Amino acid sequence: MSDVLICEVGPRDGLQNAKHLMPTAAKKRWISALAAAGLREIEVGSFVPAKLIPAMADTAEVVAHARTLSGVKVVALAPNLKGFERAVAAGAHKITFPVSASRRHSESNVRMSPGQMVEEVRRCAASRDPHGPEIEGAVSTAFGCTMQGEVPEDDVVRIAAALAEFCDCVALADTVGYANPAQVRRVFRRVRDEIGDRLEGAHFHNTRGLGLANALAAWDEGVRAFDSSMAGLGGCPFAPGASGNVITEDLVFMFESMGVRTGIDLEKLLAARATLIDGLPQEPVYGHTPLAGLPKGFRAAA
Ligand code: COA
Ligand code: ZN
């Protein structure tokens, strides 16, 4: 039983931006440890050209492993039809597409304008069979862009509305950590007014330390699905200045201490960091809760 869904995106958002490669066997161990801690949704990789992001070359094998973990929804990112077909063939349960509201980021990230990318996702959705995977349209740079600067809210609402026509769910992503809580409340409310319950996920980066504040603001707006990354790894290689996601360990601690059930066992989650550190010993790891430990007498939400 849980009140909020936390999707661990470290194996995708984290490893795509890490300086070193995590061996495939270590990825599998890490994902197994995450599942054992109670994570029910894990974004395990992306189907992009291996030349572009070598860390994602083994995603099909990682998806196959993650599918053996019972109760885990296996998510993969795809940037185009070819990536979608590879993700379907690998057996991903949910496929997420990055659709940037910033033209500059979209062109840098997927070499398409936002409008072209919407059409690419539409083609993928049209090609899927009825028993095919769930499709998520993630509006990236929804709160600002390091290349373009301000991203008009009208653009975010328009893209979210277009995606809602054929995606099962839509998420809003602060790809570069520009969002603030007032903006999060406003933009989520505007998009929800437009597409209702199709709006599901929130994806925040902690670049300016506002990840948890933004997550709380989204929670207050009724959002119940959050992406986060163990140890705060993460960042988009095609968005200059992007750094790590909101930290899973701290996000889980925030919710559990508020009495909001995450379904995640914090002790096991903290223990799972060892598998990440073993697999990627050179990468700096972050997290306040892991550093400080759980408060004396701490009780998880019941
Ligand atoms: N997976 C594997 N190979 C792919 C692919 C995919 N999803 N999409 C294209 N390719 C291959 C093509 O077959 C072609 O191969 P060839 O040179 O052997 O013929 C080559 O890559 C170039 O294809 P093209 O369609 O021209 O792609 P592009 O060079 O314009 O790049 C994207 C477009 C979308 C593939 C690329 O920009 C991309 O992967 N972006 C995602 C980046 C990312 O992961 N960002 C972080 C997550 S938000
Ligand atoms: Zn991200």
Q: Which residue lies with its CA nearest to atom 14 of ligand 1?
A: 49
Q: Per residue in 28-74, pLDDT tens?
A: 999 999 999 999 999 999 999 999 999 999 999 999 999 999 999 99
**3-state class of 139 per DSSP?**
strand
CA of 49 to the centre of ligand 1 (A): 5
Residue 205: pLDDT above 90?
yes
Q: How far is CA 299 from the centre of its chain?
A: 27
Averaged pLDDT of the chain: 97
C-beta of residue 83 within 8 angstroms of C-beta of residue 158:
no
* CB of residue 98 inside a 6 A radius of ligand 1: yes
Helix residue ranges, H only, the chain: 24-36, 59-66, 81-90, 103-110, 114-127, 153-164, 181-195, 211-220, 248-258, 266-279, 288-292
Identify the CATH class of 5-292: alpha beta
pLDDT(276) > 90 = yes
Return the pLDDT at 34: 98
Q: Is 284 exposed, middle or buried (0-12, 13-18, 19+ CB in 10 A)?
A: exposed
Q: What does the alpha-carbon distance between residue 108 and residue 276 come to, in Å, rounded to a whole number?
A: 29
Sequence letter at residue 271: A
Question: At 143, which amino acid appears?
Answer: F
Ligand 1: residue of 17, 58, 85, 111 to mutate (most ligand atoms within 8 A of CB) is 111
Percent of the chain with pLDDT over 90: 99
What pLDDT, on a 0 to 100 scale, did the predictor assign at position 64? Answer: 98
Query: Does residue 169 have an active-site annotation?
Result: no
- pLDDT average, residue stretch 178-185: 98
- Residue 75: the pLDDT is 99
CA distance 243 to 258: 27
Which ligand minimizes its atom distance to the CA of 54? 1
Q: What is the pLDDT of residues 210-249, one digit of tens each?
A: 999 999 999 999 999 999 999 999 999 999 988 999 999 9
89 lines ligand 1 (CB under 6 A): no
Ligand located closest to 173 CA: 2
Cβ distance 25 to 280 under 8 Å? Answer: no
Phi/psi for 227 (5° steps) reads: -90, 145
CA distance 44 to 31: 8
Write out the H or E segment, with its range, that includes residue 45: strand 41-46
Instruction: Compute, in angstroms, the gap from residue 110 CA to the centroid of ligand 1.
Output: 8
Residue indicated by tokens 């653009």: 155
Phi-psi sector, 66: left (phi>0), alpha (psi -120 to 50), beta: alpha
Domain locations in the chain as residue ranges: 5-292
For residue 288, CA distances in Å to 142, 211, 293, 299 come to 27, 13, 8, 18
Cα–Cα dist 180/211, whole Å: 9
The residue that leads in pLDDT, 201 or 1, is 201
Tally DSSP H helices, then E strands, for the chain: 11, 8
- pLDDT surpassing 90 at residue 163: yes
pLDDT at residue 295 tops 90: yes
CA 294 to mean position of chain CA atoms: 25
Global confidence as pTM: 0.98
pLDDT tens string 112-125: 999 999 999 999 99
Asked if pLDDT for residue 1 goes beyond 90, the answer is no
Whether residue 54 has its Cβ less than 6 Å from ligand 1: no
Instruction: Specify the DSSP class assigned to residue 39.
Output: -
pLDDT of 87-108, one tens digit each?
Answer: 999 999 999 999 999 999 999 9
| 139 close to 157: Cβ distance less than 8 angstroms | no
83 lines ligand 1 (CB under 6 A): yes
pLDDT at 25: 98
Ligand 1 pocket residue status of 45, Cβ below 6 Å: no
Residue whose C-alpha is closest to residue 251's, from 223, 282, 278, 287: 287
Share of the chain above pLDDT 70, in %: 100
Query: What residue type is 133 in one-letter code?
Result: P
Tokens 């398409």, residue located: 112
Ligand 1 atom at minimal distance to the Cα of residue 12? 47
Please state, as a whole number, how many other Cβ atoms lie within 10 Å of the Cβ of residue 256: 23
Give the β-pairing of 199-204 and 169-174: parallel
